[in-house]
Amino acid sequence: MIKNVAVIGAGTMGNGIAHVFAQCGYKVSLIDISEKSLERGVATITKNLDRMVAKEKISADDKANTLNNITTFTSTEDGVKDVQLVVEAATENVDLKLKIFKNLSEVTADDVILATNTSSISITKIAAVTNRADKVIGMHFMNPVPVMKLVEIIRGYSTSDEVCNLIMETSKNLNKVPVEVNDYPGFVANRILMPMINEAIITLHEGVAGVEEIDTVMKLGMAHPMGPLQLADFIGLDVCLAIMEVLYEGFGNPKYAPCPLLVNMVTAGKLGVKSGEGFYSWTHGTKDLIVADNFKK
C-alpha cells in the first residue's frame, strides 16, 4: 500500500503533484536541487490552498494538514527514504530523465515504484536504465494538476499488471480519472494535441489568419476552452517543440515536423507565459496580442 511518496522537481508540475498527494493524505517528500525552487514550490501550493479556502472548497484545517504532509529535500537520497512511490516531474529532457532514473534505481529500495510525469518520452527507454523495468510507469498529470481530472497511465514494455493496477487505484484515490495507454511517442494526449497546435502555428506562419482569429475559430467553432496558440503559450513553446521532436523522431513521419516558426520562437527565447512573451505578451498572467508582423519571421 502506498502511503509515502517522493516527487522529484518543485516546478509547475512537481508542486502540483505534491499538492494533490498531500491534500489526499499522503506523506510527500518534495525534492529539488534548488532550495529557491522548493521555496517557490511551497509558496505556490500555499497560494493555491488559500484560493481553495476562500472558495470554501476546503477548510483552514485541510490547508494546514496538507502543508504538514509536505517535507522538502535538496538531497534525493534523503528524500526517498521510506517511500513506496517516486514521481519524477523534472524538465522534459531525455538525458536528464535517464540520469534521474538511473540514480533512483540505486538509492531506493528494490520494491519502490518509479513513475515519470513525462508527456512524451518513452517509458520503456526510461525503464531500461533502471534495475526494475517492471516497476517503472508513466503518470502523466495535466496542468494545472489540482484542477485537471485526467491522468494518463502509460505502461512500458515491461511494466507489470500489479504495478499498473496499483497506480490506477492510487490515481483514483487522488480523485483523478486514470486512463491506461500504451507506450508510443506522445501517448494519446500529446499525439493528438501537439500536431493540432503545430498545425495552428503553420496556419499562422503561412498567413492564413492571425493569432486571435485562429484562436477564436477554435474556441467558438470547436468549443475549445482556449485557442491552440494561447494553449501553446500556457504549456510553453519549448515544451511543445520538445514533444514535436519526440513525435518526429519516433514516427519518422514528415507530418510531425515542427513548424519553422515554432523553432525560431524557441531559439529566440519567446516561450510563452514563462518568458513573458509567445504568441501573446503576458504580464502577471494576463495577455495582450503581439503585432502580427512578428510571426512572419
Condensed to tens digits (0 to 9), the pLDDT of residues 141-193 reads 999 999 999 999 999 999 999 999 999 999 999 999 999 999 999 999 999 99
Q: Which of 88, 152, 171, 277 is catalytic?
A: 152
Q: What's the confidence (pLDDT) of residue 127?
A: 98
The model's confidence at residue 288, banded by pLDDT at 50, 70 and 90, is: confident
Dihedral (Cα; 196, 211, 232, 239), 10-degree rounding: 90
| pLDDT > 70 in the chain, percent | 96
Distance CA 270, CA 117 (A): 24
pLDDT digits (tens, 9 = 90+) for 25-68: 999 999 999 999 999 999 999 999 999 999 999 999 999 999 99
Residue that wins the pLDDT comparison between 99 and 1: 99
Q: Are 240 and 194 in contact (CB under 8 A)?
A: yes
Strand partners, 71: 29
Dihedral (Cα; 145, 125, 135, 181), 10-degree rounding: 50
Q: What's the confidence (pLDDT) of residue 285?
A: 64
What does the pLDDT average to over 255-265?
98
Contacting residues for 220 by C-beta, under 8 A, at least 6 apart? none
294 counts as catalytic:
no
Q: What's the confidence (pLDDT) of residue 294?
A: 64
103 counts as catalytic:
no
Q: Which of 93, 296, 92 is nearest to 201 (CA)?
A: 296
Q: What's the confidence (pLDDT) of residue 283?
A: 83
Annotated binding site for NAD(+): 9-14, 32, 92, 97, 119, 143, 274
Q: What's the confidence (pLDDT) of residue 291?
A: 57
Q: Which of 37, 190, 198, 277 is catalytic?
A: 190
What does the pLDDT average to over 197-216?
98
In order of their start, the domains of the chain are 4-182 (3.40.50.720), 190-290 (1.10.1040.10)
* pLDDT at position 284 over 90: no
Give the pTM: 0.90
What does the pLDDT average to over 249-254?
96
Q: What's the confidence (pLDDT) of residue 287?
A: 75
What does the pLDDT average to over 127-141?
98
What does the pLDDT average to over 11-15?
96
Distance CA 73, CA 35 (A): 8
The model's confidence at residue 244, banded by pLDDT at 50, 70 and 90, is: very high
Strand partners, 81: none
* pLDDT at position 219 over 80: yes
152 counts as catalytic:
yes
140 counts as catalytic:
yes
H or E stretch covering 199: helix 189-205
Q: Which of 119, 120, 122, 171 is catalytic?
A: 119
Burial class (CB in 10 A: 0-12, 13-18, 19+), 157: middle
Q: Which of 19, 37, 140, 171 is catalytic?
A: 140
Distance CA 28, CA 125 (A): 27
pLDDT digits (tens, 9 = 90+) for 75-90: 999 999 999 999 999 9
The model's confidence at residue 1, banded by pLDDT at 50, 70 and 90, is: confident
The model's confidence at residue 241, banded by pLDDT at 50, 70 and 90, is: very high
Annotated binding site: 9-14, 32, 92, 97, 119, 143, 274
